[in-house]
Amino acid sequence: MQITVGLVVMALTLVAGEITKMTKIENKWIPLQNIIIAILASIVCIIFKVEGLGVLETIITCIFACMSAGGIADLSKITKKEEK
């Protein structure tokens, strides 16, 4: 069930990234935003013992989910550029 934590964190990261892109904040800050989301998600998962994951597993899962969300967002931009 570790996929559930990753998917929830990834979805939140994608939404937060899109919100950031609609504001005047520069896109270069999105990776930092993703790391902050990963840290906060890790803390919440550790405190509430989500899915019985260990501390290291939780941190790694949250970081991978956040970074992959950024990669998926970039991949969708590349695909849209190629279609035009």
What mean pLDDT do residues 63-69 have?
82
Which of 16, 7, 1 lies closest to 62 in space, CA to CA?
Answer: 7
Pair 37, 13: CB distance under 8 Å:
yes
- Number of residues in the chain: 84
pLDDT value of residue 59: 87
Q: Is the pLDDT of residue 41 over 80?
A: yes
DSSP calls for 7-52:
HHHHHHHHHHHHHHHHSSS-GGGHHHHHHHHHHHHHHHHHHTTGGG
- Enumerate the domain spans of the chain: 2-76
Q: Is the pLDDT of residue 32 over 80?
A: yes
pLDDT value of residue 3: 66
Report residue 39 as tokens: 């840290």
pLDDT band for 81, please (50, 70, 90 cuts): low
